[in-house]
Structure 1
Amino acid sequence: MEENLFPKNFFYRHSKLVAPDLIGCYLIKNNNKKDQVKGIIVETEAYSEEEEACHGYRKITESNKSLFGKPGTFYIYKSYGIHHCLNIVTDKENFASGVLIRAVFITKENERLASGPGLVTKAFGIDISFNSVEVINNNSLRISQRDSIPEQKDLIQTTRIGISKAKNIKWRWYLKNSRSVSKRVKGDRTPKSNNQLS
């Protein structure tokens, strides 16, 4: 099956523009020729060195240097030294900007299997070895363009989770009709069944 390719400059934009555009895209991991894990991205968060919650806010270090790298590459880090988190580098080189993949819906699996950043990397078998790998030009872990584009009414835009600084910035997006979202905003009820863009 031929996959939809991203426009050339898709990742060369600010993280707050890329993050909602990744909703509905496919995250694909090939373990071997017959074993593939594939899911629909249903929740993302944007980060940028302009705000304090970003890993690159203060300076470039050995652990965050991939976030300052080429747009369209993966930035993998360990949260609290336990869970790996999957991010996509965006905007421009030497500028920390990235999108965290917070939740993914995997067809024919428990709908909560990848409903959080640590659960995403666990379900897909993602570790630090994918750090700095290009998003589209590899055969192991990649992201494929979405088949259909969600309308504005299908997305919820709200504040980010699990941060102590810049908490009021609304740089988290999720697919309203998904039961795989990590955390819903107050008053947004969980839908009775998953209605994914696929």
Structure 2
Amino acid sequence: MKPIPVPFFERSAELVGPDLVGCRLVKRQADGSLLWGVIVETEAYSQDEPACHGYRRRTPQNETLFGEPGRFYVYVSYGIHHCVNVVTERAEWANGVLLRAAVLPGEPERVAAGPGLLARRFGLTRSDDSQPVTGEHDVWLAPRPASLDSPELVTTTRIGISQGQDLPLRWYLRPSRSVSRRSKGDRTPSLTTAWLPSVEVMG
């Protein structure tokens, strides 16, 4: 369960986004046990395109997105639910990856099938904003297990935004039924968890 090191995040969101699919989001709970899930869907955002929070200006709300890579950027969407992002590339340049969906072994397949549901299941809020994703915090990101070394990814357009919808900056794990929304023509796979790492594999 070793965290992913900082250099992994010192790349553009367009490169980090697909590489995060299959990685694991891990939270150490109050009793010391680990809550974890496999990230199955991500989206990339960059300051040079209008869908990015940092496109127009730097504000106290999006300050973390302009910071050092390898930190969580958590914001509230429509005043209702939290969305969890990972800051990428370099400081002073708004660049990040939205964690759109995850699957948690032994739990309902769609318990975290969307950004708001993911944040809710892991109990992530604005208090986690700017915290490192590399192990110094109670929540971190761990590498892909061996069973997902070469994941079958779908590359498609982003969803839930009003600008930049045509950019192919969303990726998801094709075998997963926990994706928030599948690409047109991609049918939901039959129920199987053969690709999902077990608790024993997680260590």
TM over 0.5: yes
Distance 1:176 1:124, change over 3 A: same
Q: Would the aligned equivalents of 1:150 and 1:197 in 2 still touch at CA under 8 Å?
A: no
5+ long unaligned stretches in structure 2: 198-203
Q: How does 1:171-182 map to 2 (within 5 A)?
A: 171-182=169-180
TM-score by length of 1: 0.94
- TM-superposed CA distance for 1:117, in Å, is 0.1
1:151 is matched with 150
Query: Matches of 1:145 and 1:7 in 2, distance apart?
Result: 9
Distance 1:33 1:138, change over 3 A: farther
Q: How does 1:69-148 map to 2 (within 5 A)?
A: 69-148=67-146
What letter matches 1:57 in structure 2?
Answer: Y
- TM-superposed CA distance for 1:29, in Å, is 1.2
Query: Matches of 1:194 and 1:53 in 2, distance apart?
Result: 35
TM-score by length of 2: 0.91
1:61 is matched with 59
Query: Matches of 1:10 and 1:37 in 2, distance apart?
Result: 23
Query: Matches of 1:186 and 1:161 in 2, distance apart?
Result: 12
What letter matches 1:165 in structure 2?
Answer: Q
Q: Would the aligned equivalents of 1:87 and 1:100 in 2 still touch at CA under 8 Å?
A: yes
Q: Secondary structure of 1:129's match?
A: helix
More helix by share: 2
- RMSD, aligned α-carbons: 1.4
Give the total of aligned pairs. 195
1:45 is matched with 43
2:184 is matched with 186
Counterpart of 1:18 (choices 16, 22, 29) is: 16
Query: Matches of 1:10 and 1:34 in 2, distance apart?
Result: 27
Q: Secondary structure of 1:122's match?
A: helix
5+ long unaligned stretches in structure 1: none
Distance 1:53 1:91, change over 3 A: same
